[in-house]
Amino acid sequence: MTDTAPPDRLSNNPRSPHYNEAMLERGIGIRVNGVERTNVEEYCISEGWVRLPVGKALDRHGNPMTMKMQGTIEAWFLT
């Protein structure tokens, strides 16, 4: 992990093993297939997917329902 590039995989769910609060505080921009997304729950650059919430639906634990979208993923730090 370097200061110039975000990690390969990151999640904003504190129960996930890929959660990193320090990285999330810096702010990370995500672009999927050339379209900038602001509602990404989790991403993996090497595998080429992101998890996006589906509307306002929640699962039985109160977490947003998500769908996996595949494509070209680009990530960068906002600050």
Q: Is 30 contained in some domain?
A: yes
Amino acid making up residue 64: P
Residue 56's SS3 state is: strand
Tell me the residue range of the domain where 54 lies.
Answer: 9-77
Instruction: Confirm whether 3 is domain-assigned.
Output: no
How far is 63 from 59, CA to CA, in rounded Å?
Answer: 6
Q: Which residue has the tokens 């993996």?
A: 44
Would residue 48 count as lying in a domain? yes
Asked if 4 and 41 count as a contact pair (C-beta separation under 8 A), the reply is: no
51 belongs to a structural domain = yes
Residue 2: per-residue pLDDT: 54
Asked, for residue 21, whether it belongs to a domain, the answer is yes
- pLDDT score recorded for residue 54: 94
Question: What values do phi and psi take at 25, rounded to 5?
Answer: -65, -30
- 4 assigned to some structural domain: no
Whether residue 2 is contained in a domain is answered as no
Per-residue pLDDT tens, the chain, 79 aa: give them. 457 889 999 999 999 999 999 999 999 999 999 999 999 999 999 999 999 999 999 999 898 899 999 999 999 999 8
Report the number of distinct structural domains present in the chain: 1
